[in-house]
Amino acid sequence: MSKKKLGFESTLIHGGGYEDPLGSPTVPIYQTSTFTFKSADHGAACFSGEDDGYIYTRLGNPTIGALENVVAELEQGYGGIAVSSGMGAVNTIYMALLSQGDHMISSAAVYGPSRSVMEKHWSRFGVESTYVNTANADEIRSAIQPNTKLLYIETPANPTMDITDLEEAVKIAKEHNLVTVVDNTFSSPHLQQPLTFGIDVVFHSMTKFLNGHADVVAGMIVAREKAMYEKLKPIMVNLGCNMDPHQAYLVHRGIKTLSVRIDRAQENAIKIAQFLEDHPKVKWVKYPGLPSHEQHELAKKQMKGFGTMLSFELKGGFDAGKTVMNNVEVALLAVSLGGVETLIQHPASMTHSKVEPDSKLKAGITDGLVRYSVGIENVEDLIEDLKQALDKI
């Protein structure tokens, strides 16, 4: 059976096309900075591109390449570009696709550093940006300017869990000749494959679901077409934000259990969301799997599952949320997400603390919002943990 015809779960294990010459079932760690050439002519051929041999790990490495290939295959894209962190991916994309005088439209509720680095640093070099609720197509259209070049979307949004209609976003982008980028970190390719909707570039903080064990910081960019890949890859090389081979090995190992981890955590997430929605001290819960979520039907259409992330606000506001965060005993009070362990955090004072207060409110990031990343623990333990913490309000 051709490996190209394998299902998603089998591709997690066998995808990428790497075959070890010594028969290792796992990709070896090529922990080297440089590679020797067979001859001077071979070295010249590698540098000219006539030979695809390896030169230097910043430019390419077998361990890193194996990871790039499997993620590109999972996302159904042309090629992957592994980077040292999710923010390495963000800045590579910004540098490759935006120039002085260009304008970007982005989801307002987006990972905090993705927004703050644009507003505080890329703006110094003449790049403009507007932040809107990309779940509302009219807001996207109204934000388009003559110099708009990029539509940058995070769906589900962090941490509001708003869902952007990818088909509609691509339609708008094509009408105005915009490049489209999706941060697919919250879903992973197990639940959502934006490139199949016509999105140009997708990227991940692989620190989260793709690695899944809270022990690696890593990022990945996947381009839908060759021309876009060739625009992005040299920028990563020149920025020097390449991934380390050992880091790539760990992520590749983590990816093999991606579907198992997410499926288990999703089973927990819907039960926890329902528990919170029914609790008298909870003001609201945002989880795409709840019928009360405004874009529940869109999520069912666009995603293969509702994910493991949810946010909620307590009737007592921030003080009540602080009480819960300080009293959970199973969930860990920590930023990040997508690991086997359940995490709880306060975006307004933590992950989105560098975003201006007015911008946070406009994006729906209230002071009372609590973000909860559901892990694979026993769900009854997680619910009991929340219950006892809520009882202390």
Edge-first strand order for the sheet with 282-286 is: 282-286, 309-314, 369-373, 343-345, 332-333
138 is catalytic: no
- CA 241, 244, 250, 253 dihedral sign is positive
**CB 330: neighbour CB atoms within 10 A?**
18
Catalytic residue among 111, 131, 229, 372: 111
Catalytic residue among 208, 224, 233, 261: 208
58 is catalytic: yes
162 is catalytic: no
Catalytic residue among 51, 56, 58, 263: 58
249 is catalytic: no
Catalytic residue among 102, 162, 165, 183: 183
Q: Which residue do the tokens 């306060």 mark? A: 346
Phi, psi of 131 (to 5 degrees): -115, 125
SS3 344: strand
Residue 189, preceding peptide bond in cis (omega within 30° of 0): no
Given a contact cutoff of 8 angstroms between Cβ atoms, the answer to whether 69 and 61 are in contact is: no
Distance of CA 8 to the CA centre of its chain: 18
Given a contact cutoff of 8 angstroms between Cβ atoms, the answer to whether 110 and 182 are in contact is: no
What residues act catalytically? 58, 111, 183, 208
